[in-house]
Amino acid sequence: MARFQVLSHLVFVGVHLCTTSLAEGRVSPRQSDGEEMWKGVGKLPFMGFNTWNGFGCNYNESVLEENAQLMINLGLKAWHTRIRIDVGYNYVNVDDCYSEPQRNKDGDIVVREEKFPSGMRALTDKIHALGLYVDSNPSLAIPGNTPHSKAGIYGDSGWFTCNNGSGSFQNEERDARLFQVEWGFDLLKFDNCAVPYDIIIQEGQVGKYARMSNAIKGLAEDTGNPPLLFSLCEWGRLQPWLWGRDLGQAWRTTEDIGPRWDSVTQIINQNSFHATPEKEQFFPRINST
């Protein structure tokens, strides 16, 4: 793959956002001891590679492994020990189309074997094990401050994903544990397709996302490990800048970007109206992932 093609698939997440809290629905954000761990995740905007914009559903584990290595080869994911700078492109993210429509007999999401014959755990182990140094003396790195490569996974708040994979509605706790404990992912992008009508569940948009947010926090309490970085994706239709920070660390503010300059400028313009800096950790996502 040419270098400009790889670069065009990189995700940039960057602008701080002024937000306020908004209560809605019957499911509310969980307040617990997990809050302190929650505050330690996603202090800076996450950056990296995502399968969707460049490949759609036409990818497999080899595509992810190859692009993860390309990020290193191009110097995008590196710990420059001489100047003590983490370039910051540390995430390699799996998007939609990795799962079967039906769960297995135990109720777990089933990975498409033709795409991931080695399994998800093997993939995340490879990503986590990738080298991060661009010079020949990694011992110069500051102890305890060396960045790690991280892996992201995709989920959906409805019954099915946008491409007919398994959604997480009413399986939030099971799926949060599967994503993080069993498969080893660090980030969850959570989409908004095939959601039940609100006249049925009467939770509102916030309630739909609070389900997984609460599951992630509860899992962190149970395991004592840092929670998944939770990235909401409801395309900015219900003003997530007003309530997203109560549930996760990032939220989509627009529809998908297109491979056109007018699409880029339109999205930049949309975000200019609510991009007032406030504090670290909570970020809008203005790209296509």
Residues designated catalytic: 191, 256
Torsion over CA: 51, 123, 77, 278 (sign): positive
Question: Which residues of the chain form beta strands (DSSP E)?
Answer: 10-11, 47-50, 79-80, 85-86, 89-93, 150-156, 187-191, 229-232, 250-252, 283-285
Question: CB neighbours of 264 closer than 8 A, spacing ≥ 6?
Answer: 257
Would you give the DSSP letter of residue 115? T
Would you give the DSSP letter of residue 9? T
In which order are the strands placed within the sheet that holds 47-50? 10-11, 47-50, 89-93, 150-156, 187-191, 229-232, 250-252, 283-285
Would you give the DSSP letter of residue 129? H
Alpha-carbon 111 to chain mean position: 18
